[in-house]
Amino acid sequence: MEYEKYEDRVRIEKQGVESRENQYSPYCDFIYYNSSRHPELQLAMRVLKPGKPSRLVVTTHGWHMSIPPFEVMDTPCVDELIVEVDMRGRAFSEGSPDCNGWELFDVIDAVTYVQQQYESFIEDSSLVYFEGGSGGGGNAYAIIAKFPDFFAAATAMCGITDYAVWYENDAIGEFQDELDVWIGHPPRDNPMAYASRSGLALASNLLTPLFICHGDTDIRVPVDHARMYKEHLERLNLSDRLDYWELEGVGTREHWGHATQQQMVDIHSRSEQHRARHATPIVIPERGRFMIGGYLFTKRFSIVLDSLDHMAVVDYDLIQQQFIVTSVQGDECGYKLELYG
């Protein structure tokens, strides 16, 4: 993948409604699809097709970005089937961004569409992989916690693990203005809303093997985000699910500033190798506990809280079909439970 799209400096100008129609070429398509959670919203993705059936990898763009526009491709430019999702409210998609709220479900909807319409390009449709950097890295940490058995492996590069910390340490206010709107308030007014969207607060849900890559001098998303996550997994005895790599001296106001060409090649290679090592679908335990940040979806059941800003814990027993949902704050917590299969 091209890592330039993970830089979050420029957002493509918002596209008009009249331009929303699918475009196709031999190895690149631009597809519009509807949200299953909010069917009135039309969303967009770009699909890059490999020369032969391969892994299905879904990715999201940087914080201030959207996916690249359609491009006619007569030859394959990737070795895997790459699904680039335009988050809601960005250049090509309707709706409003909500910082790891329902925008993450848009990723799941995109994958469902691709599994149905691009079956001939997928080696094993039971295996789905996620990769993201910068804002997309923040998506990676959260999506594997809110959908703990959906992805066979994931890669988080220079990603945000705690949005409250990111907000408070934003010295020039580059991200605060959007966080105020996308979440609805600063963290001091509603810390639970920030925690419910942060991979760090949901890290105990980790079942997906995760590769973390972060430059140790990154200014815009400091390496402390990766270190906090790693240290939290160590306390939870979950380090065996983590492949961690800090790049010494890498990072400026661009995430990969000072990185050598060989280091960029190695990042790409290690991410692909991580996927290759993990070719088994995730299966949740028959009994266990999950944190819920707004919602939780597994292949066996889902729980949606009455607000994306709320957090709860579910102790479940699939054999007895028992579910005990407890609010993190100790107050009343409304929710909807669905069982599958």
Q: What are 61-115's pLDDT values in tens digits?
A: 999 999 999 999 999 999 999 999 999 999 999 999 999 999 999 999 999 999 9
The more confidently predicted of residues 236 and 8 is 236
Quick one: pLDDT at residue 328?
93
Query: Confidence band (pLDDT; 50, 70, 90) for 27?
Result: very high
Q: Is the pLDDT of residue 16 over 70?
A: no
Report which residue type is found at 264: M
Quick one: pLDDT at residue 269?
96
Quick one: pLDDT at residue 301?
98
pTM over 0.95: yes
Query: Confidence band (pLDDT; 50, 70, 90) for 12?
Result: confident
- The average confidence (pLDDT) of the chain is 95
Quick one: pLDDT at residue 8?
78
Question: Which one-letter DSSP state was computed for residue 54?
Answer: B
Rounded-to-integer distance, Cα 109 and Cα 277, Å: 26
Q: Is the pLDDT of residue 200 over 90?
A: yes
Q: Rounded mean pLDDT of 325-337?
A: 89
pLDDT digits (tens, 9 = 90+) for 279-320: 999 999 999 999 999 999 999 999 999 999 999 999 999 999
Query: Confidence band (pLDDT; 50, 70, 90) for 332?
Result: confident
Q: What is the largest CA-CA distance in the chain?
A: 57
Query: Confidence band (pLDDT; 50, 70, 90) for 17?
Result: low
Displacement of CA 313 from its chain's centroid (Å): 21
Asked if 4 and 48 count as a contact pair (C-beta separation under 8 A), the reply is: no
Is 336 strand, coil or helix? strand
Asked if 215 and 224 count as a contact pair (C-beta separation under 8 A), the reply is: no
- Lateral strand order in the sheet of 81-86: 28-34, 42-48, 81-86, 56-60, 128-133, 153-157, 210-215, 242-247
Q: Rounded mean pLDDT of 29-38?
A: 98
Rounded-to-integer distance, Cα 276 and Cα 253, Å: 32
Q: Is the pLDDT of residue 10 over 80?
A: no
Quick one: pLDDT at residue 18?
57
Q: Rounded mean pLDDT of 174-201?
A: 96
| ∠ CA 317-323-327, rounded to 5° | 135
DSSP 156-221: EES--S-HHHHHHT-TT-TTHHHHHHHTSS-TTT-HHHHHTT-TTTTGGG--S-EEEEEETT-SSS
Q: Is the pLDDT of residue 262 over 70?
A: yes
Quick one: pLDDT at residue 331?
72
Residues 272, 278, 282, 287: is their CA dihedral positive or negative? negative
In 3D space, the residue among 234, 212, 232, 233 whose CA is nearest the CA of residue 223 turns out to be 212
Quick one: pLDDT at residue 1?
63
Q: Rounded mean pLDDT of 157-163?
A: 98
Asked if 163 and 187 count as a contact pair (C-beta separation under 8 A), the reply is: yes
